[in-house]
Amino acid sequence: MTDVFPDAVPTRAQGGGAKRHLIIFTTDAGFMMPTMSVIDQLLAQPRVMALADIIVYLVDIDQDRRRALEDAFGHLPVRFAEIPPELLQLSGDVSFNPTHVPHSTLARLSLGDLLPDQYDHVLYLDGDIQLLGDITPLVEHQVAPGKIASVNEGIWMYQGDGGGYWRGMSAYLSGLGLQSPYDYFNAGILAFRRDTWRTKSAEALRFFTEHSDLCRFHDQSALNFVFNGQREVLSPLYNYISSYADLGLADRLKPRIVHFTGAAKPWFSGARPWKGRFLPYYDALRARYPVLAEFEKRKSADDIAKIDREVEARHRKMMLMTPWRPTLRRRKLLRYFQDTRFAF
């Protein structure tokens, strides 16, 4: 592992002793700007920073740009580390379902032996999120050995719809050996023990390599396979994905982490469900750290308009053909909060 800050030393928690909690990210150049936005928000939560250190694992970022990161962010309590390229190589017969998700999403499956031994408890965060509240309970949570703590993906809300999407997703879940949509989690926010990840991430990478045809959602699919039956279920308040946000309950439920699943990312798009709410924040971050422009490949106005039109077209189609579905799903989500016993 090559550190941008090679002289970094273990930091200490309040009350003495090295910190045992770690927050990690994996990012390529395209996700550097939103990743740094999350770190900016973490640094504003002193209770979190008293508990945990932060490491950003870099994917395919050359030496010059790593030095630019050091110059811009060296004053922050954040470490940057390179993932050796040889750990990211996949065999030629592996298929990668073409979506808006980059190949770098697989990088976290290569971290098993790179996570420093100092840390017992690890929280992985995607870069396409925003922190809207205190996440100390999530950071300090200690997951049981062999398990993963995660939030259910929204597939369960579609059960009973009778549509083609549900039939396709049901077949997908069966291919992974899952018996219920409530067994399937979103992999954007994950908590686990370091020793658990060392074993299970290798198993997930092996499953993806050998069964990539079953992995419609890449590493998320593989992680669901290897952690089947070995989960602690987190509240959606800690991973409020777009399918939950679409239901218009955020003001009522007050999520602490919102996760921008889908292609319409709110650092360039004003599409629903957030309708441009976060655009000023990202613009302000770019202004504070001009170096981020070296990493960001800005989309053209035409590309953004196309993505936004597709989002709106899907919404109009649902409201025209099945206008009862949003109401039904809102009731399901509220009942899920009421009836589910979460990890904390």
Question: Residue 219: in which H helix or E strand, if any?
Answer: helix 219-226
Rounding to the nearest 10 degrees, give the CA dihedral for residues 103, 81, 52, 240: -20
φ, ψ for residue 233, nearest 5 deg = -85, 125
Could you write out the DSSP letters of every residue in 267-321? TT---TTTTTTTHHHHHHHHHH-GGGGGT--PPPHHHHHHHHHHHHHHHHHHHHH
Distance, CA of 271 to CA of 312 (rounded, Å): 7
Query: Residue 80 in contact with residue 28, Cβ under 8 Å?
Result: no
Q: What is the pLDDT of residue 162?
A: 77
Order across the sheet with 121-125: list the strands: 2-3, 79-82, 52-58, 21-27, 121-125, 185-193, 148-152, 231-234
Query: How far is it, in rounded angstroms, from Cα 114 to Cα 102?
Result: 21
Taking a C-beta distance cutoff of 8 angstroms, is the pair 333, 157 a contact? yes
Q: Are 239 and 151 in contact (CB under 8 A)?
A: yes
DSSP letter, residue 238: G
Provide the 8-state DSSP code for 84.
Answer: P
Q: What are phi and psi of 187, to 5 degrees?
A: -100, 15
The dihedral sign for the CA sequence 170, 174, 178, 180: positive
Residue 320 neighbours by CB distance under 10 Å: 8
For residue range 278-318, what is the model confidence (pLDDT) as tens digits? 999 999 999 999 999 999 999 999 999 999 999 999 999 99
The CA-based diameter of the chain, rounded to the nearest angstrom, is 60
Residue 105's pLDDT band, with cuts at 50, 70 and 90, is confident
pLDDT in tens, 60-97: 999 999 999 999 999 999 999 999 999 888 776 787 77
Identify the burial level of 283 via C-beta atoms within 10 angstroms of its C-beta, where 0-12 means exposed, 13-18 middle and 19 or more buried. exposed
Neighbours of 261 (CB within 10 A): 23
The pLDDT, as a whole number, for residue 1 is 36
Check residue 13 and give its pLDDT.
73
Cα 323 to Cα 146, 315, 320, distances in angstroms: 43, 10, 6
Mean pLDDT of the chain: 93
Residue 90: its pLDDT value, please? 76
Q: What is the pLDDT of residue 295?
A: 96
What is the percent of the chain with per-residue pLDDT over 90, rounded to a whole number?
87
Is residue 270 scored above 60 in pLDDT?
yes
Query: 60: closest CA among 78, 34, 87?
Result: 87
pLDDT at residue 95, rounded to an integer? 77
pLDDT digits (tens, 9 = 90+) for 123-148: 999 999 999 999 999 999 999 999 99
- Does pLDDT of 100 surpass 70? no
pLDDT of residue 76: 97
Mean per-residue pLDDT for 156-184? 94
d(CA 112, CA 89): 15
CB contact set of 4 (below 8 Å; sequence gap of 6+): 58, 66, 67, 69, 70, 79, 80, 81, 82
Q: What is the pLDDT of residue 97?
A: 75
What mean pLDDT do residues 31-50 have?
A: 98
- Give all domains of the chain, ordered by start, each with its CATH number: 1-344 (3.90.550.10)
Which residues contact residue 275 at a Cβ distance below 8 angstroms, ignoring those fewer than 6 apart?
none
- Percentage, residues of the chain above pLDDT 70: 94
Confidence of residue 5 (pLDDT cuts 50, 70, 90): very low
pLDDT surpasses 70 at 263: yes
Predicted confidence (pLDDT) per residue in 173-224, tens digit: 999 999 999 999 999 999 999 999 999 999 999 999 999 999 999 999 999 9
